[in-house]
Amino acid sequence: MLELREVSTRYGPITVLRSVSLAVGAGQLACLLGPNGAGKTTLIRTILGIVRPVSGSIWLDGARIDRLRPHQIVARGVAVVPEGRRLFPKMTVEENLRMGAFIEWAPADFAARRDHVFSLFPRLAERRRQSAATMSGGEQAMLAMGRALMSRPRLLLLDEPSLGLAPVLVEQLFAMVQAINQSGTTVFLVEQNARKTLEIAHHGFLLQKGEVVGAGSAESLRRSELVRHAYLRT
Amino acid sequence: MLLVWLAEAVVFALIVAGILAERPLALAAAGVAIVVAGALLRFVAPLRSALVCAFALHPTAALLGGAALALVLPLALRSSPYWTFVATLALLYVTIGQGLNLQIGTAGVINLAGAAFAGLGGYSVGLLTVGAGWPSWLAVAAAPWVAVAVGALLFVPILKTRGHYLALVTIAFVFIFNILMNNLEFTGGPQGIKNIPTLRLGGYAFTARPTLGVVELPAHANFYYAALATAFLATGILRRLHDSWLGLALNTLRDDEIAARCCGVSIAREKLIAFSIGNFFIGLGGALYAVMVGFVSPPDFDFGYSLIMLSVIIIGGVDSIGGVVLGACLLVPLPERFRFLHEYRLLLYGLVIVVMLLFRPRGLWPAGIRRYR
C-alpha cells in the first residue's frame, strides 16, 4: 500500500533521511522504531508531503505521491496523528472532529462518522462542546485519534501517540490501535515504546540517524540483538 | 421577549440622547445616564443574568428589534445631517471591519493595508465615474473587484511571510499606495478626484432629501440606508462564512498551520480565498464612501485609517462577527463626540486600545463557540 524507495530528505545542509526504503502492505500494522532525532517525524512529514524529499520516490497504492501537496495526499485516504497530537486547542471537541473530516468538505454522513468516533471514545461525547485545551492528556490522545479517523482513512500514520500518557492509558491506546487495524485500516505506527509496539505490530523497521538499520517481522525484531540491546534492555 | 426589546429601546434612547445633547448640562445628564446604565448592568447580577437569558432565548426578536431601531435612527437624528453622516460612516466601518476581520481575526492574515484596499475601492469609483463616465452604481459594483484584483499583488508575500513580517509588508503596501496616489497624474495627485457623481438608482438621486410621510430627512439618510443594507448583508454573509467549514479551516491555519495541513487544509488556497473575500468588502466600503462624500484624496486613505480599522476589530473582539458591529458603532462616533478635545482625542484611541488589551484582550464582545445543530 505504502512504499518508500530510497527517500532522502534534507533541511538545508543537514541530511535527515538517507535513502530510506520501506514498504507497508494493505491491512498491515507496521511500526517504525528509533531513538530521538533519528528522523521519525521527518519521515512522517515526508510521507504527508509537508517536507519534500530531495531524492527517491513515495508510492501509495501504486501511484507516486511525493510530488503532491499535503491536502492531495490526505484526500487519497491518508490520515495522521501528528507528533505532539497538535489538536486545535481553542476549538471544541466537535470542531476538532469536523476538521478531521474537512478534506471531504461537509460529508453528508458527518454525524454518523462523529457518532462512530463517540462510540469508540465515549468520553469525547461528554466533552463535545468543551475546548480541546481543557482536556486531560488521555482525552486529548483520544481526540487526536478520533480526529484522524473522521476521514475514514485507508492508511493511518501515528507519530508517537503514547507520548506523555500514563501506563494504563498507553495500554488502552495500543489496544485501540490494534482494533482499528483489525477493522481494516492499514496502520503505520512510529514509536519509542518498542516493547508494546512489537506486541501489536506485524512487522517493523528500525531507524537510526536517518537510515533504516533493521527490518523484519515483529517476532524477528524482538529477537534481534540490536533491538534487545537498544530498546528492550534484556 | 419584551425584556429584549425594552433593553434595546433603552440603549437606543441613551445613544440618541448622548449624540444629540448639545448643552453641557444635557450632555452631562446623558453621560451620567449611560454610566449608570453600564454600572447597573455590571454590578446588578440578577438584571444581567435576566438580560443574558432573554437575549439567548430570543435571538430573532433581538435581531428584529435591533434592525427596527437601526431603521428609525435617521428619524431620531433628522435635526442633524452631520450625525446622520457619522452614523453612515460607522456602518461603512461595519462592512470594512467584517472584511478585515475575516483576514485578521478568522484567518490570521495580518493585513494593515485596510486603508489602501478601501482607497482602491474609492479611487476606482472616482476614476470610473469622472474618468470613464460610468454611472455611479456600476462603478460601485465594479470597484470591490479592483481591490480584489490589486490584492493579488500581495499573494506572494502572504504565502511566504506570516505574523509581524506580513504586517510589515502590508504597512509598506499602504505607503506605496499613498505615494502613488499622491504622485500619479491620472489619480489627480494630492488634489485627488473631485465631483464624483452621487449614486442614482432608477432615476432617484441620493442627494434628494427623502420624506417619510410628513417628516423630511437629511440627504445623508439615503446613504445611511444604503450603508445599513450593505452592512447587514456583509455581516450576514461573513457570519455564514465564519460558521461554515471554510471558516473553521481558516481558524485552524491561524492557530497551527502544520496541524491544518495534516487535516488536509490547503494553506495557500484558503489564505488567498480569505484575503480576497476580505478585500472585496473593504473595497466595497471604500467605494460607498467615495460616492457618499463625492471626492477622494490620498489623506482619506492613509495608514492612520488602517489603524482605526484594526482598532474596530480589537475593541469589538477578534474573530467575533458581533464584535465588529459593536466596535464600529462605538469607535467611529465616539471620537466625533469628543471633538472638543481637538487632536488629543486621537490619544484616546491609543489609550482605549492599551486598556482593552490589558483588561479585555478578547474584546468587548468575544468570539463565542460556533453552534451546530
Judgement on whether residues A161 and A137 belong to the same structural domain of the protein: no
Q: Which of A45, A77, A79, A81 is nearest to A61 (CA)?
A: A77
Q: Is residue A52 part of a domain?
A: yes
Residue A141: give the domain boundaries: 89-152
CATH (domain of B260): 1.10.3470
Q: Tell which of B45, B76, B107 closes a domain.
A: B76
- Chosen for mutation from A46, A87, A88 (greatest number of chain B CBs closer than 10 Å) is A88
Range of the domain at B256: 80-359
Q: Which residue has the cell 476580505?
A: B278
- The number of domains in chain A is 2
A9 CB neighbour count, 10 Å cutoff: 22
Residues in chain A: 234
**Do A205 and A220 reside in the same domain of the chain?**
yes
Nearest-CB residue to A71 (from B245, B251, B264): B264
Asked if A12 and A62 sit in the same domain, the reply is yes
Give, for all 373 residues of chain B, the pLDDT tens digit: 778 888 888 888 888 887 777 777 777 888 888 888 888 888 888 888 888 888 888 888 888 888 888 888 888 888 888 888 999 999 999 999 999 999 999 999 999 999 999 999 999 999 999 988 889 899 999 999 999 999 999 888 888 888 889 999 999 999 999 999 999 988 888 888 988 888 888 778 888 888 777 778 888 888 999 999 999 999 999 999 998 889 999 999 888 888 999 888 998 999 999 999 999 999 999 999 999 998 999 999 988 889 889 989 988 888 999 899 999 988 888 877 777 776 777 777 778 888 888 888 888 888 877 777 5
Please list every residue in chain B whose beta carbon sits closer than 8 Å to the beta carbon of residue A71: 261, 264-266
> Quick check: B265 and A71 CB within 8 A?
yes
ipTM of this predicted complex?
A: 0.86
**Block residue for cell numbers 511566504:** B160
Query: Is residue B95 situated within a structural domain?
Result: yes
> Does residue A19 share a domain with residue A71?
yes
- A 59-98 → B contacts, CB under 8 A: 69-71, 74-75, 80, 82, 86-92, 94-95, 98
Contact B261 A50 (CB under 8 A): yes
Statement to judge: residues B207 and B70 lie in one domain: no
B266, closest residue in chain A (CA to CA): A71
Interface contact B261-A48, CB threshold 8 A: yes
Q: How far apart are CA B251 and CA B259, in angstroms?
A: 11
One domain for residues A26 and A41: yes
pTM over 0.80: yes
Quick one: which of A117, A187, A198, A200 has its CA closest to A158?
A187
The answer to whether the Cβ–Cβ distance between A74 and B264 falls below 8 Å is yes
Amino acid, res. B52: V
Helix orientation angle between B220-243 and B81-101, rounded to the nearest 10 degrees: 20
pLDDT band at A232 (very low <50, low <70, confident <90, very high): low
- Burial call A86-95: b when 16+ CB within 10 Å, e when fewer: bbbebbbbbb
Domain co-membership, B273 together with B208: yes
With CB atoms and an 8 Å threshold, state whether A82 touches B262: yes
Q: Are residues B107 and B139 in the same domain?
A: yes
Which of B50, B76, B102 delimits the end of a domain?
B76
Number of domains in chain B: 2
- Give residue A197's identity as a one-letter amino acid code: T
Higher-confidence position of A233 and B46: B46
Domain boundary at A137, A152, A167, which? A152
- Spell out which residues of chain A touch residue B259, defining contact as CB-CB under 8 Å: 82, 86-88
Same domain, B211 and B162: yes
Residue A234 clears pLDDT 60, i.e. is over it: no
CA atoms of B293 and B358, how far apart (whole Å): 37
Query: Is A50 in CB contact (< 8 Å) with chain B?
Result: yes
Confirm whether B367 is domain-assigned. Answer: no
Residues A32 and A127 in one domain: no
* B38 shares its domain with B134: no
* DSSP assignment of A184-211: T-EEEEEES-HHHHHHH-SEEEEEETTE
Q: State what percent of residues in chain A have pLDDT above 90.
A: 32
> Is the Cβ pair A100, B263 closer than 8 Å?
yes
Chain B residues with CB-CB distance to A74 below 8 A: 262-264
Q: Are residues B277 and B313 in the same domain?
A: yes
Which whole number is the average pLDDT over A30-59? 90
Count of other CB atoms within 10 angstroms of residue B238: 23
Amino acid of residue A112:
A
Residues of B in contact with A99 (CB under 8 A): 248-249, 252, 260, 263, 265
pLDDT bin (cut points 50, 70, 90) of residue A38 is confident
Residues B196 and B340 in one domain: yes
